[in-house]
Structure 1
């Protein structure tokens, strides 16, 4: 689900709104854009400006803050120092003293003081080329700044929608935490746990559509022994948001329970997630795909969709299909839910009558 994305900056009008207003560098950023980039709240930036005089050098009409590359470099250093336990007052003094001088460089490639050669310092996550919101979320997670993580996740979902927020902001950050954890022994486990918890909470706050499609549900489960549930939680949230009925069974569903759940719910589609090859049980997948349900003479079977890297890239077994990514996976699921004859044409029903399995 990861990919490369060109970082973006908020556009600034090429001319000041009034004749007496100072001319701004073309790439100066608003306070909100800087906050998302750094993983702090706009309130925190204003507090730092008020207490430690580490604000933007330029204001539009004297009211709207616009942060230049040099302003952002100071803030980045202050964030790194406070994440290492340096008191904010001392971090501010060090950041002001180490800030680069002059020039109107691009804020997305602002110079970093020589004392911190790597962007984000030694604790930075290996993100690569991603959205600025992704970097901000990563910085907040490394600082264990739970309120900022929560705010950034809510803002990402509200601004970009759940699918884009997951694929371009949340998933890349989760993958970076996993890579950092894998390369640092037992360090950063706390970062992974905090971020995963807040991602899960954000996904569960997504409200399902008031009207639900009257159709067989989509069954979501993790393979036996598989504990990674966040991708399935994201899929459940998106399906619910689109009014599709879901039955979510979470982590490590035993094989017998998976068979029974399919028989009892009669899902048009069942998604089985496997994060690693050790939990990708192909004989189990074949047995689930072969299950028939319903009344004698009108038996049906589910489209079994295998999701997650554990299943590899080989050809799927009969009656199974691979899912790759949330957005493309939604298309496959929606195609599987299309009615097979006129009698099964989907209808919309209000919340009073609910859904029919």
Structure 2
């Protein structure tokens, strides 16, 4: 919603932290704009602390709107200042330009980013704005805060995933636009989760027992869901051995035979990579000393498995339907005896 001089801004003005919360950005971003583009409040309270007046707030909101539509930050800062000067000279700001971008259904976008977010956490709105601006520094900081404050499961389900889905929907409805936004956001989400896992394993609980082996099938490059699962399992005190994307079949079988693992998780994003025959070979692979060979349970994760698991598949395979289902099954295996 646009802010005027008579709205919720106190006469004394807002602090940088208050304005950051109002706009859904971090204080670091506002200070960066001030440092790089001279974009900041002139007034100071008691000669020390800077305060954003109602006009300053409207200018900052215009800056957010412009960068959210793809305008380079330097150009957005110049335009926002020019419009603010027009208001000072009695011309008045363009009120329609201060409104959030419209969503795909024609209603105002709640994130002010032009993305169809719907009802989401405020952190998700801020993340969407920063991603559309291609503000990598802000995206990184917001993701760090979300994972630290909410944990990886809630951060993924209520902040990261809704933002990614909104970008994907916007991409589908606008041709090639927003592809770079999706790539930026995906990469930083993966980086945040991968950074979180070792910290969780060290500080939250002591990881003990056999590791969970995670792998994408040959030709499958979508590793982000396994990064999510890795971080959540770290919170649960499980050790994870992540093989990554597009693991060759022979290498996957060799790893299962070499590693005494609690379970193997195979991810397939599409039916083209969901190889039920290979999954059966993994389920049949045994490890351990002669006379006491052990098989490892195999969990099939991802939407790609839906068309290939409608019929009965090889024994030893379990189709998992959600992140929480996978975590529940894997944590339950800690108490179960190994298969012979």
Match of 2:195 in 1: 205
Question: Residue 38 of structure 1 contacts residue 135 of structure 1 at CA under 8 Å; is this kept in 2?
Answer: no
Match of 2:144 in 1: 154
SS of equivalent to 1:233: helix
Say if 1:125 and 1:242 are closer, same or farther in 2 by CA, change over 3 A.
same
Q: How does 1:53-132 map to 2 (within 5 A)?
A: 75-82=60-67, 83-85=70-72, 86-94=75-83, 97-98=92-93, 113=98, 116-117=101-102, 118-119=108-109, 124-132=114-122
Match of 1:320 in 2: 317
The alignment yields a C-alpha RMSD, in angstroms, of: 3.8
SS of equivalent to 2:272: helix
Say if 1:120 and 1:335 are closer, same or farther in 2 by CA, change over 3 A.
closer
Q: Deviation at 1:24? A: 9.0
Say if 1:43 and 1:248 are closer, same or farther in 2 by CA, change over 3 A.
closer
Match of 1:340 in 2: 337
After superposing the two structures, state which structure 1 stretch, 275-284 or 223-232, moved more. Answer: 275-284
Render the CA deviation track for 1:262-296: whole Å, top value 9, x for unaligned. Answer: 11113221111111121111222222222222223
SS of equivalent to 1:270: strand
Q: Which one scores higher on RCO, CA 8 angstroms, separation ≥ 6?
A: 1
Q: How does 1:43-54 map to 2 (within 5 A)?
A: 43-45=28-30
CA distance in 2, matches of 1:323, 1:30: 48
Render the CA deviation track for 1:130-172: whole Å, top value 9, x for unaligned. Answer: 2111111111011110110111011111111111111111122
Match of 2:25 in 1: 40
1:173 aligns with 2:154: no
Question: Residue 65 of structure 2 contacts residue 100 of structure 2 at CA under 8 Å; is this kept in 1?
Answer: no
Q: Deviation at 1:122? A: 9.8
CA distance in 2, matches of 1:39, 1:240: 29
Question: Residue 37 of structure 1 contacts residue 132 of structure 1 at CA under 8 Å; is this kept in 2?
Answer: no
Q: How does 1:178-327 map to 2 (within 5 A)?
A: 178-206=168-196, 207-210=199-202, 212-312=206-306, 315=310, 317=313, 318-327=315-324
SS of equivalent to 1:209: helix
CA distance in 2, matches of 1:120, 1:54: 26
SS of equivalent to 2:266: strand
Match of 1:329 in 2: 326
After superposing the two structures, state which structure 1 stretch, 73-82 or 303-312, moved more. Answer: 73-82
User: TM-score under structure 1 normalisation?
Assistant: 0.71
Count of paired positions: 302
Q: Comparing both structures, which one devotes a greater share of its residues to helix? A: 2
Match of 2:3 in 1: none
Question: Residue 212 of structure 1 contacts residue 243 of structure 1 at CA under 8 Å; is this kept in 2?
Answer: yes
CA distance in 2, matches of 1:121, 1:155: 18
CA distance in 1, matches of 2:160, 2:195: 15
Unaligned runs of 5+ in 2: 1-7, 103-107
